[in-house]
Homo-oligomer: A and B are copies of this chain.
Amino acid sequence: AYHEKVIDHYERPRNVGSMLKTDPNVGTGLVGAPACGDVMKLQILVDETTGEIREVKFKTFGCGSAIASSSLATEKIKGLKVWDAAKIKNTEIARELSLPPVKLHCSMLAEDAIKSAVKDWEQKR
């Protein structure tokens, strides 16, 4: 029995897609979960003047909980300053979605992907 919020994000995931990796204002995170072998890509488009995240896109081949976690994560970080986005914790996402313990690594995938995208954007500057 999954929480209705998980089902909702699973069935209508927000911000699925891709942005141009070579755009200097786009940070791309690509991470994997050792527990299950799933992979997630998350991209942010950052306003270079304000540091605000203008757009977020993700793609994953991961499970329902991974899709829900990243869909929720993209909603949470859109509009945030890039340094605040990097502070998002997977426990926050897992709590909002009421993920069971065995599915915590799926929300970790979302946290890792955000951090990795922010890092990629920083390295591009």
Contacts and interface: CB of A to CB of B under 8 A. Distances in A.
A83 interface: no
B64 A62 contact: yes
Interface stretch (A35-43, A74-82, A87-95, A115-123): A35-43
Given A37-B103, A103-B37, A62 B61 contact: no
A35 B35 CA distance: 7
Interface residues of A, number: 16
Contacts of A65: 61
Nearest to A34: B102
16 contacts: A2-B61, A10-B61, A35-B35, A36-B38, A36-B63, A36-B102, A36-B105, A37-B102, A37-B103, A38-B63, A61-B63, A61-B64, A62-B63, A62-B64, A63-B63, A63-B66
Interface of A: 2, 10, 35-38, 61-66, 100, 102-103, 105
